[in-house]
Amino acid sequence: MVLLMGDQVIRIVLGRFAGQHITKRYLSLINIVDPHFFNLEKEKALEEKEERKFSKLEDHSYGSSNPDFKRPQYSLAIAHTLAVASKLVYEDVTVVKYELALAGYDVEHSFKAMGYKNVCAYVVEKDNDVILVFRGYTNPLNIQNYVTNIDAGLTKVESAKGDYMGRVHKGFWDAMGTTIEPPDKALETSTSSGSIIKIDLSHASLLKSVSTAVIGILRVMKALTFNVFTNVIDPIDSSWAGHNALIVRHQSMYSQAEKFILDIFSKKDIVSDRTKEKRLLITGHSLGGALATVFLAKMIQKDSPLLRNFAGLYTYGQPNIGDRHFSRSFNIIPRIPPWYSPPPGTLVFLDSTYKISIYPPNQITQEPVRVRKISFLHLSGLLNKNIICRLKTETPLRVVFRILLPFILNDHFPSDYCRALLSGNVEWIIVGEKEGGYVNEEEEQQFSDEDLQQKHLQKHGPSKLATTMK
């Protein structure tokens, strides 16, 4: 019980130095170092810049000598927006709703906070984009988070049609819950949860009065012990489920999210019928990224109607969660045990200069690219000149964290992902032929698309073509 209080104590102590959010809530340890969330002005500028950039690139195979190559439709603007949404999910629901409303999201009609055991997420809509955001480690003292990670065995997964999808991290897979809930599940759990205690007291004699009272006390103590034990070994964040323990304990995260999102898709626009234009984006940071990937895999496993509206999965600092078959089962990266393969999809690598390198999967094998290994001899943290130059723009607490924490933890803060995506330079690297070269913005401004392609053909040959998005 002391451990479960740890997160709130840390928030209050650090909040004395950083202050409270405008909602009078203390921010989480994750975001107290950078309390800023959506920046509509800069996000709009990023969207306009990306639109101008890609208005010339109608052919997604541009930049490759392989005519079958289709460049993943990665959007830097969407990546940044979802990074901020993944950063926000670590806060209390009151803070989440306030910041989303401030950023123009339809909180009143489309927001829903969901909880299932130690898993939390929210759904919200803006401009016909429905986003599902999973939370990572909001409370480092939550024992169940570590139990989820330690359960690192691989479990076999099959699609709705019986196709083999590979093997996936059992802890992450089970944390999402089942894809199908029986209609009478709530009724079954309400009568078996132990919340109803029947005590018959008899006053026929002194002995009966005492004995029945003792039996009643023992039943109450047994129920209390059982419920306390359950909440200690499997702690939940009831604030994300409206204090409805029945839902948190027994209605899986997948079922809650799918049902609510389908309800949003079924609603008609007040002005016109724009239901078909709505799209689903799934995201999460760290453990939240792993859960986001598992949610998509369960959508495929069930052949969910949500797949018709699915438009993208963006994760940040996500651990590896499956084997090679799972990585190729659908077309994203720190490390856990070595027998895991990289998550499926396109690797977006951010370095200390905020250069963003995008590696699509191998065009021949469809295997995702592995992130490079950590070099502990590499200049990192406060030894890195790029980090040093940015210290003056960071909060005092962020500087303290950079001094006290090792660089592998400092690099994992969601605020750094947001800053890098908002101000970074992007290059595409084509994998499967050979790693591509790239051009800088000055070269790109001097030549048309056709001239630029011909210039690269002459300089590098057809196997080293790539483009730069900036």
* Residue 218 domain flag: no
Residue with the larger pLDDT of the pair 340 and 30: 30
pLDDT at 88 (0 to 100): 95
Mean pLDDT for 48-53 is 75
pLDDT for the residue numbered 61: 42
Average pLDDT over residues 155-159: 84
- Whether residue 224 is contained in a domain is answered as no
Whether residue 234 lies inside any domain: the answer is: no
Give this prediction's pTM: 0.77
> How many whole angstroms separate alpha carbon 55 and alpha carbon 47?
12
Distance CA 37, CA 422 (A): 12
Contact, 306 vs 258, CB < 8 A? Answer: yes
Q: How confident is the model at residue 320 (pLDDT cuts 50, 70, 90)?
A: confident
In sign, the C-alpha dihedral spanning 201, 205, 208, 214 is positive
255-292, pLDDT tens digit by residue?
A: 999 999 999 998 765 444 444 578 999 999 988 999 99
Across residues 381-393, what is the average pLDDT? 84
Count of structural domains, the chain: 1
Element (H, E) at 282: strand 279-285
pLDDT of residue 187: 42
Task: Give the 3-state secondary structure of residue 279.
Answer: strand
d(CA 117, CA 131): 21
Residue 447: pLDDT band with limits 50, 70, 90: very low
Task: Inform me whether the pLDDT recorded for 19 exceeds 50.
Answer: yes
Quick one: average pLDDT of 295-304?
Answer: 90
At residue 110, the pLDDT reads: 93
Of the listed ranges 64-68, 202-206, 233-237, the one predicted with least confidence: 64-68
pLDDT, position 60: 44
- CA distance from start to end of the chain: 50
Residue 434 pLDDT grade (very low, low, confident, very high; cuts 50, 70, 90): very low
Q: What percent of the chain has pLDDT over 70?
A: 67
Q: Mean pLDDT over all residues of the chain?
A: 75
Tell me if 238 is assigned to some domain: no
Which tokens hold the place of 275? 């239901």
Type of residue found at 361 = P
**Residue 150, exposed/middle/buried by CB under 10 A (0-12, 13-18, 19+)?**
exposed
What is the per-residue pLDDT for 98?
A: 95
Distance separating alpha carbons of residues 250 and 242, to the nearest angstrom: 14
What's the average model confidence in pLDDT over 358-369?
A: 74
Residue positions counted in the chain: 470
For residue 116, give the nearest of 230, 237, 231 by alpha carbon.
237
Residue 369 lies in a domain: yes
Task: Say if residue 112's pLDDT is above 90.
Answer: yes
> What amino acid is encoded at 459 in this protein?
K
Q: Would the pLDDT of 99 be above 90?
A: yes
Q: Are 462 and 65 in contact (CB under 8 A)?
A: yes
Q: How confident is the model at residue 216 (pLDDT cuts 50, 70, 90)?
A: confident
Q: What pLDDT band is residue 334 in, cutting at 50, 70 and 90? A: very low
Residue 299 lies in a domain: yes
- Which residues, in sequence order, are bridge partners of residue 129? 126, 279
More confident of the two residues 436 and 137 = 137
Rg (CA), the chain: 25
Query: Could you tell me whether strands 154-158 and 164-169 are parallel, antiparallel, or unpaired per DSSP bridges?
Result: antiparallel
Pairing of strands 112-116, 119-126: antiparallel
Per-residue pLDDT at 461: 42
Helix then strand then coil, in percent of the chain rounded to 5, is: 45, 15, 40
CB 50 within 8 A of CB 76: yes
pLDDT at 102 over 70: yes
Q: Which are the contacts of 95, defined by CB distance < 8 A and separation ≥ 6? A: 21, 23, 25, 27, 88
Q: Does residue 213 fall inside a structural domain? A: no
143 vs 84, residue with greater confidence: 84
Q: Label each residue of 342-368 as H, E or C.
A: CCCCCEEEECCCCEEEEECCCCCCCCC
- pLDDT value at 222 more than 90: no
Q: Report pLDDT for 81.
A: 94
Range of the domain at 356: 3-181+251-469
For 435-441, what is the mean pLDDT?
Answer: 37
User: How crowded is the C-beta side of 130, counted as CA atoms within 13 Å?
Assistant: 25
Q: What pLDDT does 322 receive?
A: 84
Banded pLDDT at 126 (limits 50, 70, 90):
very high
pLDDT per residue as tens digits for the range 22-41:
998 888 888 888 889 998 88
Residue with the bigger pLDDT between 382 and 346: it is 346
pLDDT tops 80 at residue 294: yes
Q: pLDDT at residue 140 above 60?
A: no
Q: Which of 73-82, 92-101, 390-399, 416-425 has the highest mean pLDDT?
A: 92-101
94 within some domain: yes
